[in-house]
Copies of this chain bind each other. A is one copy, B any other.
Amino acid sequence: MTEKCGVVGVSLDGRDAARPLYYALYALQHRGQESAGIVTHDGFQQHSHVEMGLVGDAFGEDDLDTLNGAAGIGHVRYPTAGSVDSSCAQPFSVSFKSGSLGLSHNGNLVNADEIRDELAAAGHAFTSDGDTEVIAHDLARNLLEEDLVRAVKHTMQRIHGSYSLTISHDDTILGVRDPQGNRPLCIGELEDGYILASESAAIDTLDGELVRDVRPGELVVLQDDGQGFDSYQLVEEENTAHCFFEHVYFARPDSVIDETLVYEARRNLGRKLWEESGVETDVVMPVPDSGRAFASGYADAASETTADGEPRDAEDDGVEFAEGLMKNRYVGRTFIMPTQDERERAVRLKLNPIKSTIEGKTVTVIDDSIVRGTTSTQLVQLLKDCGAEEVHVRIGAPAIVAPCYMGIDMATREELIASDKSTAEIRNEIQADSLAYLSTDAVADVLGKERLDLCLGCVTGEYPYDIEGEETDRDVSRPDIGGQQLPADD
């Protein structure tokens, strides 16, 4: 698994790529804090620096100075429970007959083990058990016999699952997005070159212009002189499987995915939430910072129509939007957990309720998700202790009922409160006066997609991939790798 990670690739006209890659990774830091790495190529030689930790800690000036070359790729890796393993830090780099390869991977293959076995049978030896090494070996093998574009195509035909890749083949930088476009990847134009990145915010950081998303099944090859890029639509599928959760939770609000600002999408989801399940309370407040955009849209909609869908009267003050929960901005850094009997107070270290905003009021709290339910329970209690008359919880996305296999590490099925509880039961458990999630139809509607073009696995339990022990929501015909005959002429 290479989980929710951030990838980037840059090709410039002469200038060293290391610093732009560094700043791009810095902009993608939210996608992975476990490790950070950069691989560059100066035309003669590949340079690599990969380390555990945050971007700012993983690289010093000296490290950037040794990463010569106008072309390179980078990676930030998400900390996955349990396996903090430096052997999985990326980019993965290898040298082989016709040169060197660097790979940054965001996503998760479904058939990595099969391909690994086949490659092993052909004599390949593996130093890690990651998907990325499998892709690298497969690509390297293809490159022995065919050109870059065909090699990538054949690898794409063999691997199945979710992948957004940036690849360095010597000093040529490539971007690849899986045929269903599960993870984001976009192209940006810089002053003196081009960039591929998981999110457009990384392009902004470098003062670049977002050109467009890489298309599902597309290979983008950055030109070595930084003057443009070439596009190859190598594989096509009937439906896409965009991860809706990128919009709801994972991507930066200032990134543009599918031509929509994530912040705006979240505001619109919030508007829908009011329309679907609005409740008239004295105040609406976000859980900072995750619920802020949703709450802003929710409150906006609430200022226009009543919970019954009627236009507001001029005299009707409607629902007040307020900052009723303040966040300790040092949260997330190391700290010693409270002891068992202090545990209930844990949320208090992160969120401080503002009494004057809450006391004696009916309150709606907006967030983007409920995972285990523990925090929500504490939060409702906190607000009631603070004097809230009623606490209504509204969630800007559907309930998460099943795990993600495509690269977002949420929790095991057992840990997910909604995996075996109805909304009524959850409401009861968290002791809220009411609870509502957004519908999946609303999500599709807001994102402007058919449901079938989205990966909704975690909220429906039906996946756009063939995953052992899970149901699929589409007709999946995975390539039969074992007996695969590479097409004669492509």
B-binding residues in A (CB < 8 A): 19, 22-23, 26-27, 29-30, 54-57, 59-61, 64, 93-97, 101, 117, 120-127, 129, 136-137, 140-141, 144, 201, 204-207, 252-254, 261, 263-264, 289, 292-293, 296, 314, 323, 326, 328-330, 333-336, 338-339, 342, 345, 348-349, 352-354, 356, 385
Contact = CB atoms under 8 A, between A and B. Distances in A.
B95 A123 contact: no
Instruction: Tell me whether chain A's interface is mostly helix, strand or loop, or mixed.
Output: mixed
Top 9 A-B pairs, shortest CB-CB distance: A254-B326, A56-B334, A94-B125, A97-B120, A96-B125, A56-B335, A125-B140, A29-B330, A254-B352
A233 B252 CA distance: 53
A416 to B, nearest CB: 25
A342 B19 contact: yes
B22 A263 contact: no
A123 B143 CA distance: 9
Contacts of A29: 328, 330
How many copies of this kind of chain does the complex include? 4
A123 B125 contact: no
Contacts of A261: 354, 356
Contacts of A121: 97, 144
A214 B26 CA distance: 44
Contact of A94 (B96, B101, B126, B349): B126
B126 A141 contact: no
Highest count of chain B CB atoms <10 Å: which of A59, A117, A253, A254:
A254
A349 B26 contact: yes
Contacts of A120: 95-97
Contacts of A95: 120, 125-127, 129
B263 A336 contact: no
A252 B95 CA distance: 38
Contacts of A204: 348, 352-353
Contacts of A96: 120, 123-126
Given A201-B352, A254-B326, 10 more contacts: A23-B338, A23-B349, A26-B335, A61-B336, A96-B125, A97-B120, A97-B123, A123-B141, A205-B349, A296-B323
B144 A125 contact: no
Contacts of A94: 125-127
12 contacts: A19-B339, A57-B334, A64-B336, A94-B127, A96-B123, A125-B137, A205-B349, A207-B348, A253-B326, A254-B326, A254-B352, A264-B356
A149 to B, nearest CB: 19
A170 to B, nearest CB: 14
B57 A263 contact: no
Q: Which of A60, A123, A141, A335: most chain B Cβ within 10 A?
A: A123
B123 A336 contact: no
B123 A329 contact: no
Contacts of A264: 356
Contacts of A26: 328, 330, 335, 349
Given A61-B336, A95-B125, A125-B136, A330 B252 contact: no
A335 B25 CA distance: 11
A86 B333 CA distance: 22
